[in-house]
Chain A
């Protein structure tokens, strides 16, 4: 398959040049990040861009940065760079879990965290793991105005976000939690590193007695796209990692709170089994990682 005719291609070196190019070309202009999803849509002509504004040369929106308040991941940071990061342990390890198993090694060398969040594919790994962590999105508009948006508000229905026309996602901020925290992500796919049939991410903050003070659990592989599981989040409060039987029960109960569909990859009952198993794994691992970060 060949893309339809493309009139313009711009590869600016700054964010300002990128928004200016977008404004100049107007309708049917698309930003391209890593392009691992967008190029499929362009080749199948689901998208017929008039102009592509390539963000790959903008150094300021790439890479992992850390300061006292937490981490900042440039939107153009590739999966492989997140997967090999030694900085993102404990509280943010779910992102490493997710980035290490997206697609295949070729895709991980091109695909970016920002591209995946903006594309928000129905069962992609980046949206769900960021949803659990509670990442903050930094965006810049065509007029140059910046705004911050929590991931819950940023992600919409599958393949939709609250990103405005021409707006660029600059970075993903991961605020350092007040207490000890751990996160984890696991998925089950039909193929190694494939799109999840079910994927679950957990983010836990513990109090001084090692009990859960805050929980964010998110699941993907549902028709609704990445979805939080409030029933599990509430039930986890006050529990310790050693309360395994209670955790198992609450996760089993919370599976029935989900709107789960059947399709050729797995029926609803099987998806529930996967949710129970994977959520137990990630909750256990998030407790372990939170406690590990005490040292």
Chain B
């Protein structure tokens, strides 16, 4: 029923005894207290608000049990900034007003970071297609795409 796990989140190891059925996203929110990772659709795994990085790859934390992440390394949106210095993507989201209600933003940031890091050349089309796993219900996609392209172009130059 319960299992002991140690999951490293943003460089800090969290050792807990948890129910096997606990989802990774709930471990992040309730055991580690990192509530930047959101739960949108709750079970279909379609909204992408819970996107985090597992050993460097963007994944949906609601489609995985916490016990499956035992011994592994997770990065959440709280891990993007270095101290008080925001990540360039966070700065670009701010500058481009790439959020309205902000609910999807943490997932958008984690997906777009994965997208930028793995694709040297991005266009509006590849960014739009690359974000298909993240839904923004305010439909603020235009500014989100602009912010991501801005950072991608800066990296490329």
Q: Is the CB of B1 within 8 A of A5?
A: yes
| CB-contact partner of A110 in B43, B59, B70, B129, under 8 A | B59
Q: Is the CB of B63 within 8 A of A39?
A: yes
Interfacial chain A residues near B23, Cβ < 8 Å: 2-3, 43
A9 at the interface (CB under 8 A from B): yes
Number of interface residues, chain A, beta carbon within 8 A: 32
Total contacts A to B, CB within 8 angstroms? 88
For B15-45 the 0/1 string (1 means CB < 8 A from A) is 0000111010000000000000000001111
Q: Is the CB of A3 within 8 A of B111?
A: no
Give the CA-CA distance A192 to B135 in the complex, in Å.
Answer: 13
Chain B: minimal CB distance from A115 (Å)? 12
Query: Given contacts A6-B21, A8-B20, A192-B129, are A52 and B65 in contact (CB under 8 A)?
Result: yes
Give the CA-CA distance A143 to B19 in the complex, in Å.
Answer: 31
Which single residue of chain A is at the shortest CB-CB distance from B53? Answer: A109
Which single residue of chain A is at the shortest CB-CB distance from B110? Answer: A106
Interfacial chain B residues near A267, Cβ < 8 Å: none
For A50-86 the 0/1 string (1 means CB < 8 A from B) is 0010101000000000000000000000001000000
B133 at the interface (CB under 8 A from A): yes
Q: Is the CB of A106 within 8 A of B133?
A: yes
Interfacial chain A residues near B20, Cβ < 8 Å: 6-9, 52
Give the CA-CA distance A39 to B60 in the complex, in Å.
Answer: 11
Give the CA-CA distance A80 to B54 in the complex, in Å.
Answer: 14
Give the CA-CA distance A218 to B90 in the complex, in Å.
Answer: 45
Q: Is the CB of B132 within 8 A of A191?
A: yes
Q: Is the CB of B59 within 8 A of A109?
A: yes
| CB-contact partner of B45 in A2, A6, A40, under 8 A | A40
A105 at the interface (CB under 8 A from B): yes
Interfacial chain B residues near A104, Cβ < 8 Å: 48, 132-134
Interfacial chain B residues near A35, Cβ < 8 Å: 63-65, 68
Chain B: minimal CB distance from A43 (Å)? 4
Max chain B CB contacts within 10 Å: which of A11, A35, A39?
Answer: A39
A44 at the interface (CB under 8 A from B): yes
Give the CA-CA distance A5 to B57 in the complex, in Å.
Answer: 28
A239 at the interface (CB under 8 A from B): no
| Band of interface residues on B | 20 to 34
Chain B: minimal CB distance from A235 (Å)? 35
Interfacial chain A residues near B54, Cβ < 8 Å: 109
Give the CA-CA distance A6 to B67 in the complex, in Å.
Answer: 11
Q: Is the CB of B65 within 8 A of A9?
A: yes
Query: Given contacts A40-B63, A54-B68, are A105 and B42 in contact (CB under 8 A)?
Result: no
Give the CA-CA distance A32 to B67 in the complex, in Å.
Answer: 12
Interface set, chain A 122-158, CB cutoff 8 A to B: none
Chain A: minimal CB distance from B117 (Å)? 11
Max chain B CB contacts within 10 Å: which of A5, A56, A103, A109?
Answer: A109
Give the CA-CA distance A44 to B51 in the complex, in Å.
Answer: 20
For A1-24 the 0/1 string (1 means CB < 8 A from B) is 111111111010000000000000
A237 at the interface (CB under 8 A from B): no
Which single residue of chain A is at the shortest CB-CB distance from B48? Answer: A106
Give the CA-CA distance A3 to B132 in the complex, in Å.
Answer: 26
A288 at the interface (CB under 8 A from B): no
Q: Is the CB of B21 within 8 A of A1?
A: no
Give the CA-CA distance A30 to B65 in the complex, in Å.
Answer: 14
A36 at the interface (CB under 8 A from B): yes
Q: Is the CB of A7 within 8 A of B129?
A: no
- Residues of chain A touching chain B, judged by Cβ–Cβ distance below 8 Å, are 1-9, 11, 32, 35-36, 39-40, 43-44, 52, 54, 56, 80, 103-107, 109-110, 191-194
Can you list 16 A-B pairs with a CB-CB distance of less than 8 A?
Answer: A6-B20, A6-B65, A7-B1, A7-B20, A11-B67, A11-B68, A32-B68, A35-B68, A36-B63, A40-B45, A104-B133, A106-B59, A106-B111, A110-B63, A192-B132, A193-B132
Q: Considering the complex of A and B, which 5 residue pairs feature the smallest CB-CB distances, nearest first?
A: A104-B133, A1-B43, A109-B57, A3-B21, A6-B20
